[in-house]
Structure 1
Amino acid sequence: MADFLRVASVNVNGIRAAFRKGMGDWLDASGADIVALQEVRAADADIAKLVAAADAGGWHVLHDPCQIKGRAGVAILSRVPSLGHRVGLGALDAQEAVQSSGRWLEADFAFGDGALTVISNYTHSGEVDTPRQDAKWAFLDAMGVRMNELADEREHVAIVGDFNVGHRELDIKNWRGNVKRSGFLPRERAYFDRFFGPRGETVVGVDGTEGPGFGWIDVGRRWAGEVDGPYSWWSNRGQAFDNDTGWRIDYHVVTPALGERVADYRVDRYPSYDTRWSDHAPVVVDYRL
């Protein structure tokens, strides 16, 4: 019996297309116990059929589709059934909740002698000075509220998925060309300064604003250290993948107690451009039981 729980996360950019391109082979070989998916863009029946066809089989499926057809959608696959699950962020008004549906799915699992909450998160991509960016601000605000609630209530929590923000200059190869674009705006990055700042202490964000730190851990940065990347998303334009001109926007964001249990971290970068089954690569973390 393994002494760790393997949690993987990936934006599949449409699960049906991903499986046509080879996602099933990765799923079989991943050794994952829990797999969080974003941008599923499919119905319950589609997901169940695709997952059941994978050689390893035996997956339990939770799915929160977007109320706007053809968009978003998050899911969690697990080898054992969850102890319970919840969808959506509470600190949103009715219109914001519709726009943000299919973007936040929480599930609780047995973890050693206790429980682990895994959240599949798909933050809005945004677009500067448009309603899409307004929706992103509202989502980030609501995420912060929920993160504080979770930190008060639970010891072991992992928020994983596509956060659509590169926190630091190390997280984007061409950061200078993106400082005025959604995904690397100073105001967006300041949220992450606070998310990862010491809990309760005043944190000065990269945009100059001040606020209390939340005390969460960025597993990827802690594990990799002060290096470029490792990137998890590459544009389909030009030779971005071949040149490793990427963004690190897929995270495992965890409570401090869970951060102490990280045994391994990796990005399952594809061997070549033509073997990709998504424009994102899976991020895989082993947590000691």
Structure 2
Amino acid sequence: MLRIATANVNGIRAAQRRGFGDWLDARDCDVIAVQEVRAQPDKIPEDAFGNYHVALETGNIPGRNGVAVLTRTPPVAVRTWSNGSDRVPLPRKLRPFIPQGRYIEVDLADAPVTIACLYLPKGGLPAEMQRPERMREAPDGGARYERKMGFLAGFGRYLTATRRAALAEGREFLLMGDMNIAHTRHDLTHWRRNQSHDGFLPEEREWFDRQLSPRTLVDVVRSLHPDEDGPYSWWSWAGQSFAKDAGWRIDYHLATSRLARTATSAGVDRDFRGMRLSDHSPVVVDYDDSAIG
């Protein structure tokens, strides 16, 4: 069995204070994709990631973004957008994101799988939908929306290319991370009132549709929980959202079909020993590794 998790920690130092290290020990995962590390390497506590080997891409914006992949043994290859790898050309629309620490990819040493970890930009509303009286953030003329849509356009092409490269090398492919998109009505609690909210806009959901098919990538958790709402992975810190389980499912395992078929169980660790590790909760999937190689 290969236990794999994705976790947006919303700051590794804060998550460590809430018990992230204890969760690592108790959950005993083989691979963990981590987003929003939010610390430069010299600011990360030495024991923050336990005994795991850490492949890290923090970017150069202090206190923002940052991704990592934790493995029991060192991977045979690590690729980031900043290390100059020419294995898959980076689309022009992704180049502005190179220094932001949003993507890292590793080839596992103990299974024929490429693991990719993504922190996708949150985005915003297009200019014509912005109403100051209804917004928590100041209107920006659609800048955050345009940034996210540009990222999606570039990343869709990159995702296809890197998935195909992995398959050509005899490896299955698994993309994990905070996608900042609820794909379907089953992926957020109040879908009717959020149809004009960033993260659930029609064009974001249509982009997500295009990434999934039996020939490309499969939403692993949804394949195991096809008809239920959730399981959600993000809740606002405000109000009673967490207590009422009024959340969003925006943290995903997207796997090639052969790998997805080996998944035996999937769930969300809503809290750990009564403590929320982050505004997100880890999404954990068990894969039958005997059926992979």
- TM-score between both structures, scaled by the size of structure 2: 0.84
What residue in structure 2 maps to residue 147 of structure 1?
Answer: 159
> What CA RMSD, in Å, does the superposition of the two structures yield over aligned residues?
1.9
CA offsets per residue over residues 72-95 of structure 1, 9 Å max, x none? 110111110011011138113476
Structure 2: distance between partners of 1:86 and 1:271: 32
Equivalent residue letter for 1:90: L
Structure 2: distance between partners of 1:93 and 1:162: 20
* Contact 2:93 2:154 survives alignment (8 Å): no
Structure 2: distance between partners of 1:262 and 1:111: 17
What residue in structure 1 maps to residue 62 of structure 2?
Answer: 69
What residue in structure 2 maps to residue 196 of structure 1?
Answer: 212
Equivalent residue letter for 1:252: H
- TM-score between both structures, scaled by the size of structure 1: 0.86
The unaligned stretches of length 5 or more in structure 2 are 82-88, 127-141
- Tell me the SS of whatever aligns to 2:47: helix
Structure 1: distance between partners of 2:239 and 2:164: 45
* Contact 1:51 1:59 survives alignment (8 Å): no
Equivalent residue letter for 2:71: S
What is the CA-CA distance between 1:22 and the residue it aligns to?
Answer: 1.1
* Contact 2:40 2:63 survives alignment (8 Å): no
What is the CA-CA distance between 1:23 and the residue it aligns to?
Answer: 0.9
What is the CA-CA distance between 1:104 and the residue it aligns to?
Answer: 0.8
Asked if 1:172 corresponds to 2:188, the answer is: yes
- Tell me the SS of whatever aligns to 1:138: helix
CA offsets per residue over residues 246-282 of structure 1, 9 Å max, x none? 000000001111111112211111168x611201000
Equivalent residue letter for 2:161: E
- Tell me the SS of whatever aligns to 2:73: coil
* Contact 1:263 1:287 survives alignment (8 Å): yes
Asked if 1:280 corresponds to 2:280, the answer is: yes
- Tell me the SS of whatever aligns to 2:252: strand
The unaligned stretches of length 5 or more in structure 1 are 200-214
CA offsets per residue over residues 141-180 of structure 1, 9 Å max, x none? 2221122113322241110010000000010101111111
Give the paired residue count: 263
Name the % identity: 41
What residue in structure 1 maps to residue 84 of structure 2?
Answer: none
Which of structure 1's runs of 4+ aligned residues deviate more than 3 A? 45-48, 92-95
Structure 1: distance between partners of 2:119 and 2:223: 22
Asked if 1:258 corresponds to 2:274, the answer is: no
What residue in structure 2 maps to residue 18 of structure 1?
Answer: 15
Structure 2: distance between partners of 1:271 and 1:101: 30
